[in-house]
Amino acid sequence: MSTPGFTAETSLFRGSASYLGLATSSDRSIGGIVTRGGWTPTFGREVAWVKFPGVFPFNNWCGALEESCCRAPFQNVPAFGPLVSCQRGLGCDITTNKCVSPCGGSGQVCCDGPETRALKWTAEGNIYSPTSWNLREMCDKGACDTQTHRCYTCGTQDGGPCCPPDAAQATARCVGDFLECEFDPGGYAVSGTCRACGSKGRPPCRWGCGPGLNIRNSLCDICGSDFQPPCDTGCNPGLGLAQGLCRQCGNAAQIPCDNGCKGGLRLKNGLCAACGAQGQAPCDSGCNSGTRLINGVCTFCGYNGQPPCTNGCVYPMKVAGGVCRFCGANGQISCDSGCNQGLVLRNGLCATPQPPPPESCSNVGETCVPDRQPGAHCCQHPGAPELCVYGTCKACIPHGGECVRGGTQICCSAKDGDVCVLDQFAEKVVCGIPG
């Protein structure tokens, strides 16, 4: 049957009073009762339709200010209390059965218009709690007493009682900002005490902390941003810890973080900078290892063809011509300090010394010629002088040397007149000129 103002989703209430009502999409179940979604009144107001056999339905208006409250066809769920509703911004005073304003305040009737979470009913008599995101609570602060249909204060103060469960929420709850219900033990989460949370200096709520706050020392606090102390999870992204505070630090031209500069940067004039490497200015601590400051710039040093570092060249290289070279060893160029020990410079390279040529002199007992003639002369080794005597080299005694009886009696300077004579002062025989 089609009736003016109804859509295809409109259905009839069933019951002895034969009331009519409106209902829309599926919603959820309450206590095992099949429920349906929120509804929209025809022409902006609720209408109670009365049906008489064989007679066209006529309407009995309800829900407007000072009009009768609209009621479900059956009041058969005592736990939910009176099932009533009025227009937007109004509430039913069940003692007078009139829709009144104001509503929703402590001690006032509960607001039960289509903009609230008040229980609704379908044409089939099923009860449902609407769950649209933009619905408001029936009471501004607190909860609606299901039997008196009036608001009472609960769930709004730290240390105060939580509001009891209702059709929208199966557990006790707090309705004030930054409050959470601490359920009573063993009470199936249907009662408890509201505890402040989420604000500065309070523990975090289950959903976290309020705007601009984070957890520090297990409490909500101002933390994590620039010039703020770190949160329990550290600093905000892009910030580091410097002197106990979250700071812009560690990057180029920034102060160092407590753990130093980032990305290989080092301190220059107290700030993080790219410095100390080849071709860069020195850091506050100097140039990197393997470089040396030359003409105000860090320059590679110590390796082949590079200037020596302050501690010299990389072993085994040494300085040759002012730069590090492989030098001084056999077959290498000479270092500035010369060739290695035991080597000599020959033809511009370090080399082992050549052995001396074979001796061209005659030893004792070998043939010889006088010194004035060309040929093999007697050798004159240190401490072992010789004299050529009748073509044979003989050991001889230098001038002033002692002549030993039974030993050598030839004086080396015999040609100059030396013979073995007595030295009266020394009381021994020496080579000398007779006197």
Whole-angstrom distance, CA of residue 70 vs CA of residue 98: 9
Contact 372, 356 (CB under 8 A): no
Q: The tokens of 18 are what?
A: 């034969």
Residue 55 lies in a domain: yes
Contact partners, residue 22, CB within 8 Å, separation at least 6: 6, 9, 10, 11, 39, 40, 41, 42, 123
214 beta partners: 221
Contact partners, residue 287, CB within 8 Å, separation at least 6: 276, 277, 293, 298
Query: In this structure, are 21 and 88 located in the same domain?
Result: yes
Contact 280, 260 (CB under 8 A): no
DSSP-based three-state secondary structure for 42: helix
- pTM comes to 0.48
Query: In this structure, are 145 and 3 located in the same domain?
Result: yes
Whole-angstrom distance, CA of residue 273 vs CA of residue 431: 88
For residue 93, the number of C-alpha atoms closer than 13 Å in the C-beta half-sphere is 14
Q: Which residue has the tokens 């072993």?
A: 315
Domain final position from 287, 319, 350: 350
Q: Is the peptide bond before 102 cis (omega within 30 degrees of 0)?
A: yes
Residue 121 lies in a domain: yes
Residue 131 lies in a domain: yes
Looking at residue 356, its pLDDT comes to: 62
Residue 228 lies in a domain: no
Contact 213, 200 (CB under 8 A): yes
Q: Which residue has the tokens 């929420």?
A: 169
Query: In this structure, are 119 and 148 located in the same domain?
Result: yes
Q: The tokens of 232 are what?
A: 């329990």
Q: The tokens of 333 are what?
A: 């160029």
Query: In this structure, are 306 and 419 located in the same domain?
Result: no
Q: The tokens of 371 are what?
A: 């010194």
Query: In this structure, are 3 and 76 located in the same domain?
Result: yes
Whole-angstrom distance, CA of residue 15 vs CA of residue 296: 101
Radius of gyration of the chain (CA): 59
Domain final position from 350, 378, 411: 350
Q: How many domains does the chain have?
A: 4
Contact partners, residue 301, CB within 8 Å, separation at least 6: 290, 291, 292, 294, 307, 308, 309, 324
Read off the amino acid at residue 149. H
- Alpha carbon 38 to chain centroid, angstroms: 50
Query: In this structure, are 419 and 324 located in the same domain?
Result: no
Looking at residue 43, its pLDDT comes to: 31
Q: What is the mean pLDDT of each run of 10 residues along the chain (435 residues)?
A: 28 27 32 32 35 36 93 79 94 96 96 93 83 89 91 92 82 90 88 94 94 95 96 95 95 95 93 95 93 94 94 93 94 93 90 77 90 86 88 90 81 85 83 82
DSSP 304: T
Whole-angstrom distance, CA of residue 390 vs CA of residue 254: 100
Query: In this structure, are 54 and 129 located in the same domain?
Result: yes
Classify the phi-psi angles of 371: left when phi > 0, otherwise alpha if psi is within -120 to 50, otherwise beta. Answer: alpha
Query: In this structure, are 38 and 5 located in the same domain?
Result: yes
Nearest of 30, 198, 21 to residue 123 by alpha carbon: 21
Query: In this structure, are 123 and 137 located in the same domain?
Result: yes
Contact 29, 36 (CB under 8 A): no
Nearest of 24, 76, 21 to residue 51 by alpha carbon: 21
Domain final position from 106, 138, 153: 153
Query: In this structure, are 49 and 16 located in the same domain?
Result: yes
Looking at residue 166, its pLDDT comes to: 75
Range of the domain at 23: 1-153
Residue 243 lies in a domain: no
Looking at residue 3, its pLDDT comes to: 30
Query: In this structure, are 12 and 111 located in the same domain?
Result: yes
Whole-angstrom distance, CA of residue 98 vs CA of residue 110: 12
Residue 341 lies in a domain: yes
Residue 50 lies in a domain: yes
Residue 288 lies in a domain: yes
Query: In this structure, are 274 and 415 located in the same domain?
Result: no
